[in-house]
């Protein structure tokens, strides 16, 4: 339990020099081009002749392209990110053939996030500085948190988001320590007004400033819709929207990291609902959409953090009416309109709607945890949590090894 090794990505912001920015932009462009050309070639082979092009065959194509006059510029950037683009494409096809994903799509400049992946032969760490192949000088990275002791990154991913910010993500092997055992357990009920309600009665509000940021986002989007297509002003307005989006999502992520770390540290068992079964299409407001995305992110963080720290995450199906069930006596209310935030049961108990639901979720989760794998609620131990971390990493490292 104590010497489990996991792969962890450490992401930092960096500020390239104008020369580095130009070189990286060129690299992003070449990565996109190689990916799209290889995709076109593979699609043609598949549609016209029913042939599957292997990674090796597409790699040979790349070598041939580099020899032609019109694609000779591909030689000017590091060859590693180009090879990685082919590996990503290979992984996308593997997922498609295994029916795990849709048919791979072309990378479009406006919609795809710019990124380039460097493996060990194309970067090095020297004296705490990061150097990339074909790049003058080290990258000015803001090391906002330390890398694990003695960490040797296996992959470096450089990216630029729609708001024009640069990031570098280093994939390292880490040995997480199990948290000290405790007998505490907690359950979470997801909401919109407060992000989550805990079975302890605590309500976790949405991050500060979010309402204001959301209004700003709406305003920026209105501005964008008024600008003429293809104009300079429109491009500017699009960047403004992206900046507000980035700010909201950064604050959210930061907030959810703190919350999930705390919940996993304080509790042996964390119980959540499986919201994927809930009908969430009814109210597609911006607030709703953001809170759904947050919930998915929180669940994901809880899964891998529980796995790291040797905690248990139990996911219960929402098969039972957690809201209408009295957590004191077990009586079931017939109906409970959405706007009723507080209700009294015949047994004399007075419930806060969300706290009561969280308490019921906790009871269901602990019952499931104690009796092992029931049909439902489904039990999702840290073991499955780990497997989803693995899937995540497979996405990250797709193509670097293992297919
Ligand atoms: Zn009751």
Q: pLDDT value at position 271?
A: 94
Active-site residue identified among 189, 213, 303, 380? 189
- At 283 the pLDDT is 52
Q: Using alpha carbons, select from 386, 395, 7, 392 the residue that is nearest to residue 173.
A: 7
Rg over CA atoms, the chain: 25
Helix (H, G, I), strand (E, B) or coil at 129: strand
The boundaries of every CATH 3.30.420 domain in the chain are 185-206+246-388
Element of type H or E holding 158 = strand 155-160
> What is the CA(184)–ligand 1 centre distance, in A?
25
Write down the pLDDT at residue 388.
36
Instruction: Give the Å distance between the CA of 153 and the centre of ligand 1.
Output: 56
d(CA 9, CA 159): 14
pTM, two decimal places: 0.69
CA of 355 to the centre of ligand 1 (A): 14
CA pair distance 92, 104, nearest whole angstrom: 6
pLDDT in tens for each of the 403 residues of the chain? Answer: 445 677 888 999 999 999 999 999 999 999 999 999 999 999 999 889 888 889 999 999 999 999 999 999 999 999 999 999 999 999 999 998 888 888 999 998 877 789 999 999 999 998 889 999 999 899 999 999 888 777 889 999 999 998 889 999 999 987 777 888 899 999 998 876 778 899 999 999 878 777 888 889 899 999 999 988 888 888 889 888 988 988 888 888 889 999 999 999 999 999 998 876 444 445 556 666 667 778 888 999 999 899 888 899 999 876 667 888 999 999 998 888 878 889 999 999 999 999 999 999 999 999 888 765 433 333 344 333 333 333 333 333 332 222 2
Domain topology for 185-206+246-388: Nucleotidyltransferase; domain 5 (3.30.420)
Q: Which of 23, 273, 303, 380 is catalytic?
A: 273
Class of residue 57 by CB neighbours under 10 A (exposed 0-12, middle 13-18, buried 19+)? middle
Task: Clarify whether 223 is annotated catalytic.
Answer: no
Catalytic residue, candidates 23, 312, 354, 380: 354
Q: What is the pLDDT of residue 373?
A: 45
- Compute the distance from residue 359 Cα to the ligand 1 centre, in Å: 13
For residue 372, the CA-to-ligand 1 centroid distance in Å is 28
Ion ligand 1: residue ranges with CB closer than 5 A: 326, 328-329, 331, 345, 347, 349
Has 250 been annotated as catalytic?
A: no
Is residue 380 among the annotated active site residues?
A: no
| pLDDT at residue number 319 | 64
Task: State in Å: Cα 189 to ligand 1 middle.
Answer: 19
Alpha-carbon dihedral angle through residues 16, 18, 23, 28, given to the nearest 10 degrees: 70
Q: Hey, how many other C-beta atoms are within 10 angstroms of the C-beta on 351?
A: 21
């Amino acid at each position: 339990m104590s010497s489990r090794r996991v792969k962890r990505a450490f992401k930092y912001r960096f500020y390239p020099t104008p020369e580095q920015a130009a070189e990286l932009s060129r690299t992003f462009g070449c990565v996109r081009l190689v990916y799209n050309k290889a995709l076109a070639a593979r699609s043609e082979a598949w549609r016209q002749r029913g042939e599957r092009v292997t990674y090796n065959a597409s790699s040979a194509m790349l070598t041939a392209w580099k020899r032609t006059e019109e694609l000779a510029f591909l030689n000017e950037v590091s060859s590693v990110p180009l090879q990685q683009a082919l590996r990503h494409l290979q992984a996308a096809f593997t997922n498609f053939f295994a029916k795990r994903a849709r048919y791979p799509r072309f990378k479009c400049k406006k919609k795809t996030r710019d990124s380039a992946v460097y493996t060990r032969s194309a970067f090095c760490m020297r004296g705490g500085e990061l150097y990339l192949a074909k790049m003058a000088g080290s990258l000015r990275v803001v090391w906002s948190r330390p890398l694990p002791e003695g960490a040797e990154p296996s992959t470096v991913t450089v990216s630029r988001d729609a708001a024009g910010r640069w990031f570098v993500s280093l994939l390292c092997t880490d040995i997480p320590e199990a948290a000290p055992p405790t007998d505490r357990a907690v359950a979470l009920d997801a909401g919109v007004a407060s992000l989550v309600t805990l079975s302890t009665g605590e309500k976790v509000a949405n991050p500060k400033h979010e309402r204001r940021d959301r209004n700003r986002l709406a305003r920026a989007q209105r501005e964008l819709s008024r600008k003429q297509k293809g104009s300079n002003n429109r491009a500017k307005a699009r960047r403004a929207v992206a900046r507000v989006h980035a700010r909201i999502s950064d604050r959210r992520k930061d907030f959810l990291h703190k919350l999930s770390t705390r919940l996993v540290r304080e509790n042996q068992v964390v119980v959540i609902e499986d919201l994927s079964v809930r009908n969430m299409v009814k109210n597609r407001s911006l607030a709703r959409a953001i809170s759904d995305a947050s919930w998915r992110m929180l669940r994901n963080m809880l899964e891998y953090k529980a796995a790291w720290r040797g905690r248990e995450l139990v996911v219960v199906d929402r098969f039972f009416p957690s809201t209408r069930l009295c957590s004191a006596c077990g009586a079931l209310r017939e109906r409970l309109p959405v706007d009723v935030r507080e209700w009294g049961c015949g047994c004399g108990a007075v419930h806060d709607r969300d706290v009561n639901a969280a308490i019921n979720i906790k009871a269901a989760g602990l019952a499931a945890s104690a009796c092992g794998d029931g049909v439902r609620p489904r039990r999702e131990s840290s073991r499955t949590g780990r497997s989803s971390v693995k899937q995540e990493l497979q996405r990250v490292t797709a193509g670097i090894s293992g297919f």
